[in-house]
Structure 1
Amino acid sequence: MAIVGRYLKKHTEALVKDVGIEAACALTGKSKATLGRYYSDYDEHAERFMPVDAVAALEEAATFPHVTAALAELKGISLEFTETRSNDRSTGGVNSDVIALSQRFGMLMAEYHQSIADGVISATEAKRLLKETLALQKVLIDMKLHLEDEGA
């Protein structure tokens, strides 16, 4: 399977797990088995990817647009969130963002330190690092939006 295919399948899996498998089934009208095939890395499922309408339905319910972000990253594009999320832009401002950024970065470094202690980053450790990286990315996006609001 091509590297791009594996990358998209990993982000598809993250999307389904973000929403929850039962909720993902209800939102897409697909079975657990079908959803599993969309992110399976077995050769028999190498060419099987989640349809765009299913991705859109899941990303509407997810905390982060995993597949859309992956596609953007593959093309060298950065995304900008305009919808108010749990980190409401109307509260806090840049000072709160700097504090949150420091905290999230500290958590990422702690996770990295723990993961690299034995000299190898396992698949589970990589997933935890990815989760922390995505949380840090969300804080950076909020900070960017606050700075744009102040500059307007």
Structure 2
Amino acid sequence: MSSDAWFHRVKAAQRDLIKIAGGIDRAAEISSVSPSHIGRMNNPRDTDLMPLSVVYALESECGVPVVTQAMAELSGRRLSDPDAEHKANVNVLTSYSELMQKAAALMAAGATAMADGIVTPTEAHSMDREAASIARGLSNFRQALAVIKATGGAKAGLKVVGE
């Protein structure tokens, strides 16, 4: 990376952070820095970089580590979410549970419709609605599984509570 490339990357991240924070005036309010100073930090041709206290204040307010991520990337690193693995496992369990509930609803609607040996248009519509719900649920479940596969799976595994 050229000697100036890092500077332009950080300046771009600062501009993004100021925009996410709500603009120059809002960023100044959050960070207790004057709007003119925030404006210089926002100007791509100005050499002013944000002090760490400003970066921290704005990123904390926005919940998005824009400048921190840029700095990590410049060092050949990346940020990770410490809760991502847990969230991935919860998403698999939740989406699987929802999918099974939708399948049960389809089976119940089908059993009711077919009990008399005749499926009416209204009953067909009801079963079709449940089948469409399963299709959406299956897509969510497959997405949750893809996240687990991409992240290498849970190290601690899933546990049954109460055993």
TM-score by length of 2: 0.52
- Taking only aligned residues, the RMSD between alpha carbons, in angstroms, comes to 3.1
Compute the displacement of 1:82 (Å).
Answer: 2.5
Matched position secondary structure for 2:56: helix
Q: Which amino acid aligns with 2:76?
A: G
Which residue does the alignment assign to 2:99?
A: none
Q: Unaligned stretches of 5+ in structure 1?
A: 103-139
Deviations 1:80-110 (A, max 9, x none): 12368xxx9274239748638x9xxxxxxxx
Sort the Cα spacing of 1:92 and 1:69 in 2 relative to 1 into closer, same or farther, 3 A.
same
Deviations 1:45-75 (A, max 9, x none): 22x1010001001111124201000000000
User: Superposed, which structure 2 residues align to 1:113-132 within 5 Å?
Assistant: none
Compute the displacement of 1:30 (Å).
Answer: 1.6
Which residue does the alignment assign to 1:18?
A: 20
Match of 1:35 among 38, 59, 71: 38
Which residue does the alignment assign to 1:2?
A: 4
1:93 paired with 2:97, answer: no
Sort the Cα spacing of 1:99 and 1:54 in 2 relative to 1 into closer, same or farther, 3 A.
same
Q: Unaligned stretches of 5+ in structure 2?
A: 96-139, 157-163
Counterparts of 2:36 and 2:17, CA distance in 1: 15
Q: How many residues align?
A: 103
User: Superposed, which structure 2 residues align to 1:48-127 within 5 Å?
Assistant: 48-82=48-82, 89=87, 91-93=90-92, 96=140, 99=143
Q: Which has the larger radius of gyration?
A: 2
Sort the Cα spacing of 1:51 and 1:97 in 2 relative to 1 into closer, same or farther, 3 A.
farther
Contact 1:18 1:62 in 2 (8 A): yes
Sort the Cα spacing of 1:61 and 1:83 in 2 relative to 1 into closer, same or farther, 3 A.
farther
What percent identity do the matched residue pairs reach?
Answer: 24
